[in-house]
Homo-oligomer: A and B are copies of this chain.
Amino acid sequence: MPKNTPPGPRDERGVLAARILAAARGAFADTGYAGTTIRAVARAADVDPALVYHYFGSKEALLDAATTPPQRWLQNVAQTWATPVPELGAALLRLMLAAWADDEIGPVLRSVLQTAAHEQSTREKLRRVVEAQLMGVSGLGVDERDRQVRSGLVSSQIMGLAMMRYIWQIEPMASMGDDELVAAIAPNLQRYIAGDLS
């Protein structure tokens, strides 16, 4: 797929590309990069393998497209870091909960976390996203290292909840309500954001 002509979401090309990406997310998460073939993705998406090559060019480019979070979500994350400090923990947590419940964002996050466990290039991408989006835009802390430690700690709690709730599906974390989770976890995030950590 030439970089300058992404498929629009509403035309036939967009519909087929979305179907291919959904199939690719499942395949990469289940069988890894090495175990995934364009042929198997095409079969799962019910399209001709030539169409997958035509749209995405290579297996590597398909992995990249399948594990790239939507730009609008990355913008949401960046904006959320501008929340006033006393509400920041709850805002970050609610953003994460909403993202996983979103039909477009949830499957990408799931695919990234599952594929990053065993695929080096996806782990690099996850690292870049966490460092740039979850940690990079914060204005926390008294200096650069303090800022990184505080946002890293926030990320560790948010990502741990995501693994327990959405990837490993361990109860009761998997089925607790959003409000109960926010009441339980947001104060801990607030300590990482503005508390004494020494």
Contact = CB atoms under 8 A, between A and B. Distances in A.
Kindly name the residue among A31, A127, A152, A167 whose own CB sees the greatest number of chain B CB atoms within 10 A.
Answer: A152
A142 interface: no
A30 interface: yes
A68 interface: no
A31 B158 CA distance: 27
B34 A31 contact: yes
- The complex is assembled from copies of this chain, and their number is 2
A117 B172 contact: no
Nearest to A117: B117
Interface string A34-60: 110000000000000000000000000
A192 B188 CA distance: 9
Interface stretch (A11-19, A69-77, A179-187): A179-187
A192 B184 contact: yes
Nearest to A183: B198
A164 interface: yes
Contact of A191 (B159, B169, B187): B187
Interface residues on A, range: 35 or more
A30 B183 CA distance: 38
Contact of A172 (B113, B149, B170, B198): B149
Q: Nearest 7 CB-CB pairs, A to B? A: A160-B160, A117-B117, A35-B35, A156-B160, A184-B197, A188-B188, A114-B117
Given A117-B118, A158-B160, 7 more contacts: A116-B117, A148-B172, A149-B180, A152-B171, A155-B173, A156-B173, A157-B188
17 contacts: A31-B118, A114-B117, A127-B168, A149-B180, A152-B173, A155-B170, A156-B157, A156-B173, A156-B185, A157-B188, A159-B164, A160-B163, A183-B198, A184-B198, A187-B191, A188-B191, A191-B191
